[in-house]
Amino acid sequence: MNYSIILYVIGWVLNIQAALMVLPCITALIYGEKSGWAFVITMAVCLIIGLPLVIKKPKNRVFYLRESFISTALSWIVLSIFGALPFWISGHIPNPVDALFETVSGFTTTGASILKDVEALPYCLLMWRSFTHWIGGMGVLVFLLTLIPMTGGSHMNLMKAESPGPSVSRLVPKVRSTAKILYAIYIVLTLIQIVLLLIGGMPLFDSLTLSFGTAGTGGFGIKNDSIAGYSTYSQVIITIFMILCGINFNAYFLIIMKQFKQAFDIEEVKVYLGIILISTLIIAFNTQHLFHNFGQAFQQAAFQVGSIITTTGYATTDFNLWPGTSKVILVMLMFIGACAGSTGGGIKVSRFLIMSKTVGKELRLLLHPRSIKKIQIDGHPVEHEVVRSTNVFLIVYILIFAASVFLISFDNFDLTTTFTAVAATLNNIGPGLELVGPTGNFSEFSNFSKLVMIFDMLAGRLELFPLLLIFMPRTWKKF
């Protein structure tokens, strides 16, 4: 294990975090808020620790897969701890665990909040809360890649460790160029949304924060009723962009390269859109009686489906009050999640695609024991390693899920609350059902349960393995 290079990476992460805090500082200046000082203090702390770490490039530049996994996991933890400082220093969230929960929820694009009254926060903290979504959506280390030239081959390993999905592909030969393209797509999508929201008459601050939350598929609102108070136009725009940000970004690259046929032929994206359409229709019919007409029911259903499957977690209505079928569908969508290579969380459509095809293959094998078949996605055979790691992922996922439910159950809430609280955090969604539903929040949980959920959120965002590796004693051995 090469510790010096890991410290070097963490140093850069701290410096970048200091740079990113300029945005809430500006916000504080504009609105003349005293809380802005909390950011200045945090920036100073970040730089004091970060700069000495990067001044000297480490001699030993060896950077293997395990270094990437560990530096990814540690970077996210460091990012969360320092990102939580402004909430705590400004005194708006006095409990450090709460501040950490809120920040982790932000960076992991979960959107679960412990705040009972969001509107009481100053603007600069609201801006930082939403901005963490945007940063966490595409990933900090991917961002790091585009900025600083790392040693030779470390790029791909870092990207593998941080990017969601069963396998990571390059768009162009160089990983750095790939990262740049991904960020460019991300920024353009965000800008388009901001402009469209502004056209709809939304104030600049609201459209910025909501667009950050949408693009990162986060879900922090700046109003107590999330999105419900905004116009239908804004809701429709947010629905569309949530769904767009849940699509595999490879599709956008193919569209830019004018390979439309291939772009619209990605199996995962087709399945993803199919799931959204079917779920929306079922929920719309199921909840029709709650709304004035079918059109409104459809719009609300589409918003909620889009919000949950992309793991954003915005709400326009209290779906806690919806009939059972609709709630079950939403809970199922929580687990499916968005596409691989998007900013969304969850298990990912592509994993379900691989698993369902594997099941089909196993069934066929029962009929024809000697048949040889490789499962294919987009016309390419899926390697055995990918299938295997997908299976392992699911098992680990279920184990973590069960353990978390058990640990949280000591708080003695009803089963639905406990179950959906874990589902909402492990899948990076935000709201669950009952107590943690769209109108509720996570403040009632004990500090211990919050720590468990902080772990769940980080594990969900980093796709389990990097975080688990930290707990393996072997990882830290020199040999």
Give me the residues that bind another protein (CB under 8 A), please: 65, 152-157, 160, 170, 172-175, 177, 380-381, 383, 385
**Residue corresponding to tokens 């468990």:** 452
| Residue nearer to another protein on the CB measure, 65 or 204 | 65
Nearest distance from C-beta of residue 153 to another protein, angstroms: 3
Residue 455: count of CB within 10 angstroms of its CB: 18
> What's the Cα-to-Cα distance from 13 to each of 73, 210, 349, rounded to whole Å?
12, 25, 30
CA dist 378 and 383 (Å) reads 13
| Residue nearer to another protein on the CB measure, 229 or 381 | 381
| 1, 478 Cβ separation under 8 angstroms | yes
Nearest distance from C-beta of residue 178 to another protein, angstroms: 9
| Residue nearer to another protein on the CB measure, 168 or 403 | 168
Write the DSSP assignment of 173-200 as a string of letters. Answer: SSHHHHHHHHHHHHHHHHHHHHHHHHHT
CA dist 335 and 157 (Å) reads 27
CA dist 7 and 13 (Å) reads 10
Q: Among 104, 120, 121, which residue's Cα sits nearest to residue 112?
A: 104
| Residue nearer to another protein on the CB measure, 33 or 267 | 267
CA 313 to chain centre: 10
CA dist 104 and 73 (Å) reads 13
| Residue nearer to another protein on the CB measure, 64 or 294 | 64
Nearest distance from C-beta of residue 381 to another protein, angstroms: 8
**Residue corresponding to tokens 């609102």:** 221
| 162, 340 Cβ separation under 8 angstroms | no
Nearest distance from C-beta of residue 250 to another protein, angstroms: 13
Nearest distance from C-beta of residue 76 to another protein, angstroms: 21
CA dist 382 and 379 (Å) reads 9
Nearest distance from C-beta of residue 152 to another protein, angstroms: 6
| Residue nearer to another protein on the CB measure, 207 or 390 | 390
Nearest distance from C-beta of residue 160 to another protein, angstroms: 7
Beta strands in 365-465 (DSSP E): 376-377, 380-381
| Residue nearer to another protein on the CB measure, 150 or 197 | 150
Q: Which residues pair with 381 in a beta bridge?
A: 376
| 406, 324 Cβ separation under 8 angstroms | no
Nearest distance from C-beta of residue 200 to another protein, angstroms: 40
Q: Which residues pair with 377 in a beta bridge?
A: 380
| Residue nearer to another protein on the CB measure, 167 or 475 | 167
| Residue nearer to another protein on the CB measure, 64 or 448 | 64
Nearest distance from C-beta of residue 176 to another protein, angstroms: 8
| 288, 294 Cβ separation under 8 angstroms | yes
Nearest distance from C-beta of residue 260 to another protein, angstroms: 15
CA dist 12 and 173 (Å) reads 25
Nearest distance from C-beta of residue 13 to another protein, angstroms: 21
What stretch of H or E contains 38? helix 36-55
Write the DSSP assignment of 142-175 as a string of letters. Answer: HHHHHHS---TTHHHHHHHHHS-SSS---SSSSH
| Residue nearer to another protein on the CB measure, 292 or 380 | 380
| 77, 458 Cβ separation under 8 angstroms | yes
Q: Among 407, 412, 410, which residue's Cα sits nearest to residue 425?
A: 407
Output DSSP code: residue 204: H
Nearest distance from C-beta of residue 147 to another protein, angstroms: 17
CA dist 106 and 414 (Å) reads 26
